[in-house]
């Protein structure tokens, strides 16, 4: 049984807290994951079925329930801060149901004196317009065109994830090197005990959803070893990436808000990748049907 990990003749599933590393002597390395706090390990049986099921979903397993992308409504009327404490971003509905930034203040360090904090007030009276650029990773993405600091933002539940390359941008008139990249959410010290309990319950559902979407995507790769290696490798690295992204969120160790939202975003990204694979498989079938209409009708 190539997918069964054995430690001294005892199955590892009897030791759920053990850190799992892939067996280095087999090609199964690509499917193994490092088990970090909050990580999800692909089950041996599901990974095994992935190499046997060319149709996309493991035989006998129902397709995971469809996840819905977060609505922009969840970010209207709230002042969000990067890492729960730095700067402020606030949104409002624009013309034609668009998304506008009503307030934007970005924190950073002085260009002339690195290490000294500074803050740039970007919005001055007129809201910043954004441009919707699709749902490539399963969530709504918007492009923000600020001359000194353009960036992309993904809409999550009550938060936005800002990405920019390079991460920092210079506002030389304000002598400030600002850093907008990261998760912008509610102030970390504003999340009370009741909300913490609710977030704990949501984390269980998010972990389950992510695991289901991962297994479905892995199964959809069929016998494509390179695809399986890529999918499993990305999932194995997710926990450490989430840790880096969320480690500075204020009081994250108490409420886990950042980890929850990033996990939900990962589940949606896996779902989008699964759907893209399904569409790619459907194209050749449609092309064949057009070339041989009699066979499909008969």
Give the alpha-carbon dihedral of 266, 268, 271, 276, to 10 degrees: -100
In this structure, the number of other CB atoms found within 10 A of the CB of residue 128 comes to 18
Higher pLDDT, 297 or 287: 287
pLDDT tops 50 at residue 55: no
pLDDT tops 70 at residue 9: no
Joined together, the tokens standing for residue 34 give 């490092």
Higher pLDDT, 174 or 16: 174
Going from N- to C-terminal start, the domains of the chain cover 25-67+191-289, 79-185
Question: Do 239 and 39 meet the contact criterion of CB atoms below 8 Å apart?
Answer: yes
For the segment 87-113, what is each residue's pLDDT rounded down to a tens digit?
999 999 987 778 999 999 999 999 999
Give me the mean pLDDT over the 140-161 stretch: 96
User: What span, in angstroms and rounded, lies between the C-alpha atoms of 123 and 103?
Assistant: 5
Give me the mean pLDDT over the 207-228 stretch: 96
pTM: 0.76
Question: Do 265 and 163 meet the contact criterion of CB atoms below 8 Å apart?
Answer: no
Give me the mean pLDDT over the 176-187 stretch: 97
In this structure, the number of other CB atoms found within 10 A of the CB of residue 288 comes to 11
């Amino acid at each position: 049984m190539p997918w069964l990990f054995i430690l001294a003749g005892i199955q590892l599933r009897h030791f759920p807290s053990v850190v799992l590393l892939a067996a280095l002597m087999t090609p199964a390395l690509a499917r193994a994951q490092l088990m970090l706090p909050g990580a999800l390990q692909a089950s041996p049986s599901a990974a095994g079925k992935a190499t046997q099921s060319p149709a996309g979903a493991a035989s006998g397993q129902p397709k995971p329930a469809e996840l819905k992308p977060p609505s922009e409504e969840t970010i209207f009327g709230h002042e969000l801060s990067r890492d729960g404490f730095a700067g402020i971003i606030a949104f409002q509905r624009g013309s034609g149901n668009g998304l506008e930034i009503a307030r934007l203040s970005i924190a950073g360090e002085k260009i002339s004196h690195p290490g000294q904090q500074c803050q740039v007030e970007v919005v001055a009276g007129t809201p910043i317009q954004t441009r919707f650029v699709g749902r490539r990773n399963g969530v709504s993405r918007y492009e923000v065109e600020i001359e000194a600091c353009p960036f992309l933002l993904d809409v999550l539940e009550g938060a936005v994830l800002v990405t920019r390359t390079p991460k920092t941008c210079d506002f030389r008139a304000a002598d400030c090197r600002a850093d907008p990249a990261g998760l912008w959410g509610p102030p970390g010290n504003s999340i009370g005990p009741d909300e913490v309990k609710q977030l704990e319950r949501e984390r269980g559902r998010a972990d389950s959803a992510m695991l289901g979407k991962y297994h479905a995507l892995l199964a959809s790769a069929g016998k494509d070893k390179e695809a399986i290696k890529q999918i499993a490798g990305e999932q194995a690295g997710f926990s450490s990436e989430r840790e880096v992204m969320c480690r500075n969120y204020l009081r994250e160790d108490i409420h886990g808000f950042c980890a929850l939202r990033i996990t939900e975003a990962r589940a949606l990204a896996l779902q989008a990748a699964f759907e893209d694979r399904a569409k790619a498989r459907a194209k050749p079938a449609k092309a064949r049907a057009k070339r041989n209409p009699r066979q499909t009708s008969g």
